[in-house]
Structure 1
Amino acid sequence: MFNLFKRTFWLGLALTAATAHAELPASYKVVLLTENFPPFNMAVDDKNFARDDGIDGISADVVREMFKRAGIDYSLTLRFPWDRLYRLTQEKPNYGLFSTTRTPERESSFKWVGPLGKTSWVLVAAPGSSLTVKDLTEASKYKIGAYKNNAVTQSLEGKGVPLVTVLRDQENIRKLAKGQIDLWATDDPAGRYMARQEGVSGLRIVLNLNDAELYLALNKETPDEVIQRLQKALDQMRSEGFIDEITNNYL
């Protein structure tokens, strides 16, 4: 009886270990989505649609290497608007989205791998503007442009700050330059990088709201094996200095 118990016990442990390290099906593939969010992810030709090698940027290069090292197949597509990509990733198994700011409000909506990079949430004024604000209460008196459903916007809306949202962040740059909005809620350095692409330089940060980290967000049904293999690959890349090297190439 005791020998039978021991055999059953060790067989159970072996089956548990085998399940924990089970290989993914040969056909397994992650559908990766991203948007124009330079210098982290962007279309090589500056358009709003690109696939695979037509996409570059800090996070794009890091994610490619991460999937390669983890031995997981993927497809990569850049499109807009962010709001649609965000909802697709929440709804579709094996979908992933980057670069996504990890916030307490989003924590339970995805599984996470990262960080891929760092960013700051800021309010910026147009070149030549003398506008100053000391806090969000004072900033709320002005017309603030924001990008629908991104992390900065979600945070400000959660605090009751009135915003004018758009589906394309480039619209905020044009509105700011024309005086149609007083402030732009954006990420730094992404906002400054994007503005330069639109021919606008000299934006002035008037309020730093938060420092944040960017992640790969994956649908909640993504197997834990995938999360573990990707995170292990990313941690190795960071220890080797790979991420710092890629970041320095762009910035």
Structure 2
Amino acid sequence: MPKILGWLLLLALLLGPGATHAGLPAGYRINLLTENFPPFNMAANGRNFARDAKIQGLSTELVREMFVRAGLDYSLTLHFPWDRIYRQALETPGYGLFSTSRLPEREALFKWVGPIAQYDSVLVAAPERRFELGSLEQARAYRIGAYKNAAVSQHLQGQKINAIDTLSDQGNIDKLLRGQIDLWATSSPVWQHHARAVGAEGLHEVLKFHSDPLYLALHKDTPDEVVQRLQRALDELRREGWSACTAEPQLCQ
């Protein structure tokens, strides 16, 4: 009997919480990348580079809590432009990025955890411009500016609409106000934050053409155990009704 009890104790230890950590090497860490995409992720000082505690946002706070619950170590860097960090997460094991859309053409490129948030894809016009658009197809005749390699830009490509890409959404605001583009393809509520930051008033939405959930995308070589632990942590947080607005009230003001 003592021998049987000993085997049962060993089995319980193997199947217990420690077992979920057994497949990861000591010091395992994920390098998380993000960009200024308010209110989901942004630098506290508004600049295009920040690390760790100097990065905030609704998605940022949720992702932090997910990693704590999952018992995983991470670093967090906000960088610019999106095209650069997207490529780094795509090509470099041990990396991930958020907040990003799980587009069909991206599905096999990453491993996914989410959704962590949601946004709308919209067309925005300058204050003096008026458009009557019932569909994205009707916008084809206009000059549309978009953020290079962002989900909105890739969605337009999928619809065979040639957008004028820039490396920043602030660049699109400038082009819109100068009349260099007719419409700005962007995300709501993100574009409102960018417009306020540069003092651009009177911009207005003329068409909402798509809605997307946002995800944490991990390099395709990320161990399945890591993905599962993060997804379980996220599901647990959702069941509890956890909110970044509760954790960091200033993000929702």
Q: Distance in 2 between matches of 1:58 and 1:92?
A: 26
* 1:136 CA displacement: 2.0
Instruction: Percent identity, please.
Output: 55
Deviation above 6 Å: which 4+ runs of structure 1?
16-20
The residue that corresponds to 1:218 in the other structure is 218
Q: Distance in 2 between matches of 1:79 and 1:96?
A: 13
Question: Which runs of structure 2 are paired with 1:36-47 in the superposition (5 Å)?
Answer: 36-47=36-47
CA gap of 1:247–1:17, structure 2 versus 1, over 3 A, is: closer
Q: Distance in 1 between matches of 2:126 and 2:187?
A: 15
The residue that corresponds to 2:73 in the other structure is 73
With structure 1 as the length reference, what TM-score do the two structures score?
0.89
CA gap of 1:99–1:210, structure 2 versus 1, over 3 A, is: same
The residue that corresponds to 1:5 in the other structure is none
CA gap of 1:247–1:140, structure 2 versus 1, over 3 A, is: farther
Q: Secondary structure at the match of 1:45?
A: coil
* 1:150 CA displacement: 0.6
Question: Which runs of structure 2 are paired with 1:198-237 in the superposition (5 Å)?
Answer: 198-237=198-237
The residue that corresponds to 1:104 in the other structure is 104
With structure 2 as the length reference, what TM-score do the two structures score?
0.88
When the two chains are superposed, the root-mean-square deviation of aligned CA atoms in Å is 2.2
Q: Distance in 1 between matches of 2:141 and 2:175?
A: 17
* 1:74 CA displacement: 0.5
1:21 corresponds to which letter in structure 2?
A: T
Asked if 1 retains the 8 angstrom alpha-carbon contact of 2:143 and 2:164, the reply is yes
The residue that corresponds to 2:175 in the other structure is 175
Asked if 2 retains the 8 angstrom alpha-carbon contact of 1:58 and 1:246, the reply is no
Q: Distance in 1 between matches of 2:244 and 2:50?
A: 25
Q: Secondary structure at the match of 2:97?
A: strand
* 1:227 CA displacement: 0.5
Q: Distance in 1 between matches of 2:122 and 2:136?
A: 11
Asked if 1 retains the 8 angstrom alpha-carbon contact of 2:113 and 2:231, the reply is yes
Asked if 1 retains the 8 angstrom alpha-carbon contact of 2:121 and 2:208, the reply is yes
Q: Distance in 2 between matches of 1:225 and 1:41?
A: 26
Q: Distance in 2 between matches of 1:100 and 1:183?
A: 22
The residue that corresponds to 1:184 in the other structure is 184
Q: Distance in 2 between matches of 1:210 and 1:126?
A: 20
Q: Secondary structure at the match of 2:104?
A: coil
* Cα deviation code 1:30-86 (max 9, x no counterpart): 000000101110111111110001100001111111111111000000011111111
Q: Distance in 1 between matches of 2:247 and 2:174?
A: 28
CA gap of 1:123–1:246, structure 2 versus 1, over 3 A, is: farther
* Cα deviation code 1:194-243 (max 9, x no counterpart): 11111113322111111110100000000011001111111111111113
Q: Secondary structure at the match of 1:140?
A: helix
The residue that corresponds to 2:64 in the other structure is 64
Asked if 2 retains the 8 angstrom alpha-carbon contact of 1:100 and 1:217, the reply is yes
Which 5+ residue runs of structure 1 have no aligned equivalent? 1-12
Q: Secondary structure at the match of 1:242?
A: coil
* 1:128 CA displacement: 3.1
* 1:20 CA displacement: 7.7
Asked if 2 retains the 8 angstrom alpha-carbon contact of 1:238 and 1:244, the reply is no
Residues 1:21 and 2:20 aligned together: yes
Which 5+ residue runs of structure 2 have no aligned equivalent? 1-10
The residue that corresponds to 2:164 in the other structure is 164
